[in-house]
């Protein structure tokens, strides 16, 4: 089995608070017929602050899709060397030990992919395999972990690097004034994340026992991009909230396959697309608010950071000193509507022995913020 070593998360230096978001909304959309309702819904997300790669006044200016994509490449290449070096350090491996590089993003496009740049720039072997993922949205983080684990399980001496680069601020569209778009503008933030997966069953981290994907039929247009000359226009159907609630049996059945119940697990690393995902796990899945606290804190501290979200919560769990054998669900949700699920146990040395007690692990700690 494969071990996911502790992820590293980088948050850019510019911050926009909830108070600033409210002020910005009143300034930019004065006269919008649903403004007060929208601002109330943004407050109710619980997001206290978000991190941006540029000052907020620059983010709200649309300088064209070409310029925004140039910014994506420039900032990604600025952050990635330090990010990957720290992820390698967490795993105890060197760049030449990596067999597969997977990079996920839904906020910029490059060809060749940044995977090729990383292999060259970080000194990885020329036979390192590449797997860029561009169209799974927020679910891509969990999907990339699952795919890399499949690769490592088939090649037990191999190791994989998974990287998420999400600069959601580059997708802001001033002309989109529908309720879903304006709520999203107050929810998404920028971040990068990386984690190494070891196929040799060694190292500290999350030992993955099982994983699955699930596509909810008839919902492929509910979370989407409309691609125009101005770039990506995010579209969100209000029915998404009900789909998440109805997906609880699928999640419960996956956990039952592990001989566990959903509510009895010790840790939950859930993509924090918004509070309703966590609320559904509590009200319809029976998961306690305490068990979901780290996922909720992740949402509060930097908003929805798309595919990087599951990495951020896994990093928080690792910082909270989980006990040997703590049972953990990893869950990502995205376009399709797609669910990516994984089940694992925390281990200090790759052994992953189940815990004999029902303790809840250590006290929560905040995700380490690496600012530039």
Residues contacting 12, CB < 8 A, separation 6+: 51, 52, 53, 75, 79, 190, 191, 371, 372
List, in sequence order, every beta strand (DSSP E) within 168-281.
Answer: 190-198, 205-215, 223-228, 231-236, 267-270
Tell me the backbone φ, ψ of residue 173, rounded to 5 degrees.
-120, 105
* Alpha helices in the chain, H assignment, sequence order: 18-28, 35-44, 56-59, 65-91, 114-121, 140-154, 179-185, 240-246, 248-256, 275-283, 293-302, 309-319
Residue with tokens 């125009």, as numbered in its chain: 228
Structure tokens at 30: 């004065």
Coil/strand/helix, residue 107: coil
Helices 35-44, 18-28: crossing angle, 10 deg rounding: 160
| Whether residue 102 has a cis bond before it, omega within 30° of 0 | no
Residue 137 CA to residue 273 CA, distance in Å, equals 11
- Using only the alpha carbons of the chain, give its radius of gyration: 20
Residue with tokens 């009900």, as numbered in its chain: 242
Residue 339 CA to residue 80 CA, distance in Å, equals 27
Coil/strand/helix, residue 314: helix
Report whether 38 contacts 344 (CB < 8 A): no
Whether 138 is catalytic is yes
Residue 196 CA to residue 215 CA, distance in Å, equals 27
Q: Which one is catalytic: 5, 59, 106, 138? A: 138
Active site amino acids: 138
């Amino acid at each position: 089995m494969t071990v996911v070593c502790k992820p590293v998360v980088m948050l850019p230096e510019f911050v926009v608070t909830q108070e600033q978001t409210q002020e910005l909304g009143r300034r930019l959309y004065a006269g919008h017929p649903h403004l007060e309702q929208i601002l109330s819904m943004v407050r109710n997300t619980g997001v206290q602050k978000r991190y941006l790669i540029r000052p907020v006044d620059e983010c709200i200016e649309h300088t064209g899709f070409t310029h925004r994509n140039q910014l994506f490449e420039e900032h990604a290449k600025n952050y990635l060397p330090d990010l990957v070096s720290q992820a390698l350090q967490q795993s105890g491996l060197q760049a030449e030990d990596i067999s597969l590089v997977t990079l996920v993003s839904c906020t910029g496009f490059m060809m060749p992919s940044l995977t090729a740049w990383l292999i060259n720039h970080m000194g990885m072997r020329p036979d390192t395999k590449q797997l860029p993922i561009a169209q799974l949205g927020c679910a891509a983080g969990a999907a990339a972990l699952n795919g890399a684990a499949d690769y490592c399980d088939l090649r037990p001496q191999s190791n994989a690097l998974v990287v998420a680069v999400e600069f959601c601020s580059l997708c802001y569209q001033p002309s989109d004034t529908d309720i879903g778009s304006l709520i999203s503008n107050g929810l998404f933030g920028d971040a990068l994340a990386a984690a190494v997966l070891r196929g040799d069953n060694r190292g500290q981290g999350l030992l993955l026992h099982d994983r699955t994907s699930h596509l909810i039929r008839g919902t492929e247009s509910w979370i989407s991009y409309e691609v125009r000359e101005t770039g990506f226009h995010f579209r969100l159907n209000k029915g998404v909230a009900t789909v998440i609630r109805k997906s609880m049996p699928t999640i419960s059945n996956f956990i039952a396959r592990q001989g566990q119940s959903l509510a009895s697990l010790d840790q939950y690393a859930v993509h924090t697309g918004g509070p309703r995902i966590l609320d559904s796990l509590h009200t319809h899945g029976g998961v306690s608010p305490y068990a979901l606290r780290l996922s909720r804190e992740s949402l509060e501290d930097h908003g929805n950071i798309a595919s990087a979200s599951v990495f951020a919560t896994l990093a928080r769990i690792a910082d909270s000193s989980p006990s040997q054998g703590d049972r953990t669900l990893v869950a990502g949700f995205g376009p399709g509507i797609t669910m990516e699920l994984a089940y694992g146990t925390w281990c200090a040395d790759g052994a992953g022995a189940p815990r004999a007690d029902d303790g809840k692990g250590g006290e929560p700690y905040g995700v380490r913020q690496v600012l530039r």
